[in-house]
């Protein structure tokens, strides 16, 4: 099932009393209403500006792994904390 918010593939979360489909990319959970602001398309840069350090590292490493580039989240986190190092 595709996520109505971002279009990514949703995963069935069976850790609840009633299993629900969840999107691990944007956090949408089946049955929640869509906010009007979430229906607007965001650029990757706008999405990155809204993330904290840990989420940014996960977003970058996941995105690069789709292209066959293996990057460790710990290395990205260290670089984001101190880019001149």
What pTM was computed for the model? 0.40
Question: In the prediction, which pLDDT does 41 show?
Answer: 66
Average model confidence (pLDDT) for the chain?
78
Question: In the prediction, which pLDDT does 85 show?
Answer: 64
- Domain-by-domain residue ranges, the chain? 1-41, 43-85
Question: In the prediction, which pLDDT does 75 show?
Answer: 84
pLDDT in tens, 54-83: 888 887 777 777 778 888 888 888 888 887
pLDDT in tens, 16-45: 788 889 888 887 888 766 555 555 667 777
SS3 per-residue string spanning 39-79: HCCCCHHHHHHHCCHHHHHHHHHHHHHCCCCCCCHHHHHHH
């Amino acid at each position: 099932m595709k996520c109505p918010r971002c279009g990514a593939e949703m995963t069935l979360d069976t850790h609840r009393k009633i299993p629900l489909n969840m999107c691990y990319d944007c956090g949408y959970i089946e049955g929640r209403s869509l906010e009007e602001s979430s229906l607007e398309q965001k650029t990757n840069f706008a999405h990155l500006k809204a993330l904290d350090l840990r989420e940014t590292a996960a977003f970058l490493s996941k995105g690069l792994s789709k292209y066959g580039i293996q990057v460790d989240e710990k290395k990205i986190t260290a670089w984001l904390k101190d880019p001149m190092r």
